[in-house]
Amino acid sequence: MAPKTPVKPPVEDLGSGLWSVPVPIPDNPLGYTLVYLLETAQGPVLVDAGWDDPTTWQALTEGIGATGASVEDVYGVLVTHYHPDHHGLAGAVRDASGAWIAMHPADTNIVKRQRSSSLTDSADWVEKLGHILHAAGVPEEEMAALADVRNRVVFDAPVLPDREIADDELSEEIRLYNRIRSLVRKISALRKRDNPPLTGRDFLEVTRAFHLLEPEELVVRLAELHERLAAVPDDGARPLRLMMTGGIVAEGDRRILDLIEDEIGARIVVEDHCTGFSPFVHDTDEQGDPWQALANAYLDQAPCARQSPLERRVAHAAALAREYRVDAVVYTYLKFCPCYGMTKAAFTRRFQELELPVLELGNDYSRGDTGQIKTRLEAFVEVLHEKEVA
């Protein structure tokens, strides 16, 4: 029985200016390639482009349209690797928009070899490389079908990129983003004051800007923001200092943060979650191979629940709690997210060893439990205030 082709999902808004656009792969059980569209000030940048075919071109252009842009607006195409379902439509996008095409130099060399190859169609491929198919166990009748003139597929020459990703250029970007992370850390450090000059909500807007603004603009704006905030006097009443840790605080779902700061009057002074302070703790290594440095930065630094030992994550959260002199911890997690729901006991034990009270809040994206969450937060803060008086 032939494998079923997966149903192509709809275009999806992933938040912070990032979209996934599924582009089908004709007559292939893989079904589709996910092309990602990133909104930038210069126009959309595509990560990959999809298979080169009239039907897939229609799917790509319609998908881009669903994001509110058009293919003529595309500023660039970043090709992750040279496979036809990723590289295929890059040339068509460039023809329609004038976009640049970028890929790794190693993939560029593959494209150059392919363009100089004598393999012009599927029959040539079977004739000259059929031994590879045969060794892999492809049935003779399938090889014969490929070689049959009636089934012959003509290979179009793949397009060359007009922008290679050079090591020195990548190293310069690493240095720029390290500068941005340094500024974010300096802004966050102002929250160590007894009366911080910014709220937890303010800081999440800073981290949101990291994903939305061009880095050259962002570094200027963050430097100006730090200068203004540092000039704010550290006086006034000391608010109750809380740490927010656990699962993600998604864009558009900040109700727990809003309850804490707007209605209860406490202050979030540090976060240990992937939309807060934690992604800015470490810099990317500026020495040596920049590609290896990027790989290490993605895999080894930020203690994400999906790819870090539990002990390391707990130690990181405890260190932040001490550094920011918090009075208590609010541990939040989505009820359907096991990464933090199943590990909450380890975090709670460590905070209790530090004599820090912990409130655990399981929630979801509905609003039905907002009243219950507010009641629990109010009771928790009341106990903390009574402890201060005692």
Q: In whole angstroms, what is the distance from residue 333 CA to residue 313 CA? A: 15
**CA 70, CA 196: separation in Å to the nearest integer?**
44
What domains can you pick out in the chain, each with its CATH number?
A: 12-103 (3.60.15.10), 167-389 (3.40.50.11900)
What does each of the 390 residues of the chain score in pLDDT, given as a tens digit?
A: 455 667 889 999 987 789 999 999 987 888 999 999 999 888 999 999 999 988 899 999 999 999 999 999 999 999 999 888 999 999 999 999 999 999 988 888 888 887 777 666 667 777 777 788 788 888 888 878 777 766 666 666 778 888 877 888 899 999 999 999 999 999 999 999 999 999 999 999 999 899 888 899 999 999 999 999 999 999 888 999 999 998 878 777 888 999 999 999 999 999 988 788 988 998 999 998 999 999 888 877 755 666 678 888 899 999 999 999 999 999 998 877 777 778 889 999 999 999 999 999 888 878 788 889 999 999 999 999 887 766
Cα 265 to Cα 382: distance, rounded to the nearest angstrom: 11
Residue 60 in contact with residue 49, Cβ under 8 Å?
yes
Backbone angles phi, psi at 46, to 5 degrees: -95, 135
Q: Which two tokens stand for residue 54?
A: 């009239």
Say if CB 251 and CB 15 are below 8 A apart. yes
Look-up: residue for tokens 């009057």?
Answer: 265
Taking alpha carbons only, the member of 167, 130, 172, 168 closest to residue 147 is 130
